[in-house]
A and B are shown apart, each in its own frame.
Chain A
Amino acid sequence: MHCPVDFDNVDLPILLNPFFSILRSPLSTGPITSAALSALHSFFSCGLINPNSRSLDQALIELSSTVSHCKFETSDTSGDEVVLFKILTVIYDCLCGYVASNLGDVEVCEMLETVLTTCCQMRLSGKLL
């Protein structure tokens, strides 16, 4: 088996795929989805997802699609709002971070649509608006 020697030699989608799978899965609960989103936020903060990452464009396409179609089992309202807030945080990291210039039009529109859809939900508390 070929062992990569550096993170620069590893495709970013391979590293992020397990977390994407969690976000896509309808079987995952709110806390699990929340943990996966926190992980993505940490990756942005620590610089794992940076403009020099390998296959960054592909990773961003998958990221925007995954975050926009994030599914989880609903529980109580406050718990769901935490997940929604973390979704918005990851979108913020994408749109306003170092990798923003690598995003395509489709991805930006997709994420903006998610933000607007979240903000227009009447049952959510004011913190998300």
Chain B
Amino acid sequence: MELAEIEAIVSEIEREKEAGQLSIIISSLLILNDRSLRGRTQEVAIGSDGCWPSCDDTESICRREFWPVDLIFNTKMLCRLSIPKSGPSISRPDLAMSKRVLLMTPSSIRPKDGRNSCIKNILYSETLSVMFVMRKNSRWASPTRYIGARDSDVLGSNLGLRISSPVHTNIGMSAKGSIEAELMRNFQELKGIIKGISGKSDISQGAGLILYALSCRF
């Protein structure tokens, strides 16, 4: 067998292997095509430029700085390209696209600061979104019921102001109330943990986060 033939076989095997990996990634991400989940993830992942490029704008996607949730764009594009789930044969442009997707698997997210920053923002935004939904519920709308008369925050609470942290007093707290306060306290602790994580703070990402919070608020 000639060397050229061996090389051709090896390249074919590599191509099939990549196509197989691609099918796994696609199948695990196809769920993102659901409208509600996609909308939700889009809310979370407001990009560094503050807006989403259209799916047809391939160049703008290529120019974007790496962001883990870019996987969503690529999934959408791959779905549009109709790449078969398990088909070993894959054309060259699609293969190039698949390589780009494979490069963005979570294990290859680098540098660490960027990764930390991304995850930190996502954790913040998810915490905000859950807290926002909880605050809409009358049970968590105001913690007035759980504040003792001697607590320092009682004046502000009576004036209709929300206190930022849950009350840790056990005086006059029912079992149910303590469970409710516990749920809120967990998130406060999480915020404290996230604060200690290093990561570059990007003003544009911060602005995106604020926009997201405002869109939830109003």
Binding site for B on A (CB under 8 A): 1, 3-8, 10, 14-15, 17-19, 21-22, 25, 27-29, 31-32, 34-36, 38-39, 41-43, 45-48, 50-52, 82, 86, 89, 92-93, 96-98
Contacts and interface: CB of A to CB of B under 8 A. Distances in A.
Interface of B: 27-29, 31-32, 34, 36-37, 40-41, 44-45, 68-69, 71-72, 105-107, 109, 112, 115-116, 118-120, 122-123, 126-127, 129-130, 133-134, 136-137, 139, 176, 179-180, 182-183, 186-187, 189-190, 193, 196-198
B197 A27 contact: no
Contact of B122 (A6, A48, A89): A48
A18 B197 contact: no
Given A42-B122, A42-B126, A43-B126, A89 B69 contact: no
B193 A4 contact: yes
B183 A22 contact: yes
B119 A18 contact: no
Contact of A45 (B72, B134, B137, B176): B72
The list of the 10 closest CB pairs from A to B, nearest first, reads A47-B106, A3-B196, A18-B186, A39-B126, A50-B106, A35-B133, A35-B130, A46-B68, A18-B187, A5-B198
A27 B176 contact: yes
Contact of A25 (B34, B44, B127, B183): B183
A108 to B, nearest CB: 16
**Interface of chain B: mostly helix, strand, loop or mixed:** helix
Contacts of A51: 107
Contact of B71 (A19, A45, A92): A45
B101 to A, nearest CB: 13
Nearest to B196: A3
Nearest to B189: A18
Contacts of B189: 18
B137 A32 contact: yes
A42 B44 contact: yes
Given A6-B116, A38-B37, 8 more contacts: A5-B198, A18-B187, A21-B182, A22-B134, A27-B180, A46-B122, A47-B115, A82-B36
Given A18-B186, A21-B186, A92 B31 contact: yes
